[in-house]
Structure 1
């Protein structure tokens, strides 16, 4: 199969723009709790839809009073928090175009974005972030209306802007709110740039409306008024913003969390019914449970539990009844391990959505087996987040599902995934970037994939990562890299070998796991400063990773096997090598690790 299409479940007829989603929800359920908001003292307070709408309208009037005109670009640079959600909708109510900026962005990145988007007003989370915006405005000659901080009081704060709401009447606000049509720009999202320069993807109100209405229809049993979720992902990422709009329109309560050190505590307090995570989070949950079992000398018992969960998940996925013996084993391990893992996740999670990276099929089956099905999906900034996705009652591990309603996926002759549909943008802010981005009306994703007989997408890697060796062999690194990355100590594996006679790899170690391993094995491994890739020569550690390399080599053809590798320690909080969505900037790693690569071929 070379093309798969899923028809629309809902159209956008009758919606002016994204702001209608909030107004319709507020009219239907004004007193329903829309948000859980941290109260600053460790607790949480609930905010109703009506109260949220009032805050949005007040700030929108403040934006208008400050000088925002229809179509002006308004930048938001802050960690994931409730005030981000207020500022986002308020900008749209004021008729502005939102330009999100990751709070980890460098001054150079900030200046590049505000300059390219011609930003007129900025909102920062902290005073320091507002100052970074101010500096970027001065450098680029933008930001005539200034920058305001969420955390500040007095001049230069959002509080000051809200106080100016009395200068704008309701009629003016309504006129501004309804200025944007479905096909007008809602946001300009700059890609995080794993390769090349960041590009500003222009997403319209129709893109968001189409995604929100259709995904809400397809995932009604997941996103529901009785449920709640916690958003950990950066709101500067389109997936988090899309999820927020879907929840807001459907009545699902939202909490925001940017401090990952309190995840477990927050899960146990708020008890979410649905979570969106990257695969690494699920892997860490499983690894942590395995380590606790090992500490209690229960490794063999844990291994049996994992096999039982995977088998149980596989049978459920295929709709096959479990044997009496398997049901007995599953009940035993549920009491011993599985129930406790569900409690770690809050005890009420019905489903987890995994995205941002490839999910190990066995890991998917494991979580399904312990009672928390994982819905894997796939999308890009340019597709307004989800393009394909498994459905709650139709999950196939190892795939990212069928096209979502209103979307078409086509596989080109060279294996590239092409996309068309309600969420697919019409182009970048710079038209020069569009020429290579589309073919026959389809967006070129840059990913390599294939469709199974039922139209589900299976991803195989990135087109730009393909390696051609000196003997003419074309190698897709992702399958090998993915297998090695399943090892708890490995954060990223980077296969190299372009124009070489054999393949090698740089293997970046997980700093947290590495520290724990070193302590357990009596080794001393120095902390690596930001920006530096440090070789780790420890022989015992190398023997540990060699097992993962050997396992990966067994899964691929001989021509795709890695002959030599180097272990690398790096600061994985360094934004110059890791994107805000935790993807590796391969070109930067290969540039900084050039000396290590040359040693592999010496």
Structure 2
């Protein structure tokens, strides 16, 4: 079976546990700015927090946890938006020897109950009143949470109050507790979002995190730098955001948190990051917004030429070539008209973007590279403690997710499934029942399909459970088609159907905000309002909108073989904030969608 490995660049055994990352950094550079924290002062909206200040705050909260009666190995739940206090609580829990269990803000009461019960949560920290009320109810119903519910905001049960409980815990006691956990002890239990099955509690160890942090920091020294900074707006409940935070903290890269995604762009101008981690949808929206703005200024054709030029310039740069004189002239012209403004919109200092969480279309990657902001695409899962593979600076190949990162091995099974082994790969799920099918010959089964290109980069081709077999016996992997259609800003999610059917069809789940914008721009009544229907999926019948979507469908059909093309599609609107339909990482729960859309799917074959 094809296999690629990369030797490790760092040894996690040089550290006792995760807390050494902060302890050593605070000892080496206590006065270095580690965080930018929002203030209520319009004149000075951000204030710097040094590494030394951060560690002292972490220590105070950790002492409060110890004073409460928290024992080593006890589980603490954190349910809060992405914010500075999340980082404080995370590290404080580890300083106190606890195991952190992140809970997504969008989680339902049932999901929280399952996590609290399965993980035997003793204490929770929440970030807003609605989350606090949900957790309070779950604690009352389950009898868990004997050490209480604490909040990140001011109040009688705030983190500040909690820290005040620990005044009698001395520094030697805290230091002994900090060093309690060993490398192979659990650091966190992360419950997977479960797009195709029940959520599973993945147990990640201190060795997993340290192996990833140290090796990724070594591999990306050009990106993660002491003089750099980043803005984290991905949920900190996601292992990718937490891993990024630890890498930046250990490397001295300044961090700001922006929980409200509508405030990301305004914050970029103020914070001027050198590096960002995003999901592909963010990049799609940036490109689409630029196109819409150009169209509003009657520069649609000029923008189309600029977009194509950026893609050509990106492809030329990827080959390491200088490009023709004509291309260089066109790029210089469009840089003055469009590209420079886009870079300014993103802060003006952005040198690198890391894209993860979903496959990135190669043309989109080349477009941003042509703008002057290369996109590093990577691939990983909760069970691999985030990145497993990644493109490296100077070795970016669009359309791939790069090679195994240091300390990792990737194998392609005979059926095309991606198998993983390495420093970040977990030992198993909390429930042994979930481990039976999770491993093969010592490798973790990712559930994703892929292949290596001619130079050893991994190319993602789909999901094992998404494979469709039509009534004629054709086996189809719909990933490429779905990803191509989802490049249309109108389409939030594309789901191909056709299992046991004579041909393929698709449900296109639309983005309500984009639909409203499209309707306004085209002078038509906003179609398919949720208030007009009691059905879980509202079918869109507006002919002009369907015609616009047909162009994206045709473009996707042109990229795949005849057997993979779809013949019919139905656009729908639904509640994209529904946690039973959309995972916390913004992926569609295919089974739930198809259950709700049974009648619509049947109509595609009538």
| TM surpasses 0.5 | yes
CA distance in 2: counterparts of 1:329 and 1:540, whole angstroms: 34
Structure 2 counterpart SS, 1:471? coil
Would the aligned equivalents of 2:125 and 2:150 in 1 still touch at CA under 8 Å? yes
Structure 1 residues 290-299 or 2-11, which shifts more?
Answer: 290-299
The residue correspondences of 1:481-492 to structure 2 (distance < 5 A) are 481-492=482-493
CA distance in 2: counterparts of 1:14 and 1:489, whole angstroms: 49
Please name the residue that 1:499 is paired with. 500
Please name the residue that 1:13 is paired with. 13
Would the aligned equivalents of 1:72 and 1:120 in 2 still touch at CA under 8 Å? yes
2:135 maps to 1:133: yes
Q: Deviations over 1:67-115 (max 9, x none)?
A: 1000000110100000000000000000000000011111111010010
Q: 1:555 to 1:127 in 2, by over 3 A?
A: closer
Q: Deviations over 1:534-553 (max 9, x none)?
A: 00111111111111112212
Please name the residue that 1:571 is paired with. 575
CA distance in 1: counterparts of 2:509 and 2:301, whole angstroms: 29
Shift of 1:131: 2.7
Shift of 1:531: 8.4
Q: Deviations over 1:39-74 (max 9, x none)?
A: 134511100000000000000000011110000001
2:446 maps to 1:449: no
2:65 maps to 1:53: no
The counterpart of 1:94, out of the listed 69, 93, 96, is: 96
Give every structure 1 segment of 4 or more consecutive aligned residues whose post-TM-superposition deviation is greater than 6 Å: none
CA distance in 1: counterparts of 2:396 and 2:315, whole angstroms: 10
Shift of 1:526: 4.1
> TM (normalized to structure 2)?
0.98
Would the aligned equivalents of 1:127 and 1:151 in 2 still touch at CA under 8 Å? no
Please name the residue that 1:546 is paired with. 550
Structure 2 counterpart SS, 1:166? coil
CA distance in 2: counterparts of 1:166 and 1:83, whole angstroms: 20
Would the aligned equivalents of 1:531 and 1:570 in 2 still touch at CA under 8 Å? no
Please name the residue that 1:44 is paired with. 46
Would the aligned equivalents of 1:407 and 1:421 in 2 still touch at CA under 8 Å? yes
Would the aligned equivalents of 2:528 and 2:539 in 1 still touch at CA under 8 Å? no
CA distance in 2: counterparts of 1:365 and 1:193, whole angstroms: 31
CA distance in 1: counterparts of 2:41 and 2:452, whole angstroms: 50
The residue correspondences of 1:163-178 to structure 2 (distance < 5 A) are 163-178=164-179
CA distance in 2: counterparts of 1:598 and 1:462, whole angstroms: 24
Q: Deviations over 1:480-517 (max 9, x none)?
A: 11111111211111100111111111011111111011
Please name the residue that 1:589 is paired with. 593
User: How many correspondences in the alignment?
Assistant: 601
CA distance in 2: counterparts of 1:223 and 1:501, whole angstroms: 51
Structure 2 counterpart SS, 1:195? coil
CA distance in 1: counterparts of 2:181 and 2:60, whole angstroms: 19
Please name the residue that 1:112 is paired with. 114
CA distance in 1: counterparts of 2:93 and 2:232, whole angstroms: 21
Shift of 1:138: 2.1
2:31 maps to 1:31: yes
CA distance in 1: counterparts of 2:271 and 2:355, whole angstroms: 20
CA distance in 2: counterparts of 1:331 and 1:489, whole angstroms: 31
CA distance in 2: counterparts of 1:543 and 1:128, whole angstroms: 41
Structure 1 counterpart SS, 2:455? coil
The residue correspondences of 1:11-410 to structure 2 (distance < 5 A) are 11-42=11-42, 43-154=45-156, 156-410=157-411
Q: Deviations over 1:130-150 (max 9, x none)?
A: 232222122222111111111
Unaligned runs of at least 5 residues, structure 2: none
Would the aligned equivalents of 2:277 and 2:353 in 1 still touch at CA under 8 Å? yes
Q: Deviations over 1:305-347 (max 9, x none)?
A: 1111111111111111212222111111110100000011010
CA distance in 2: counterparts of 1:468 and 1:142, whole angstroms: 46
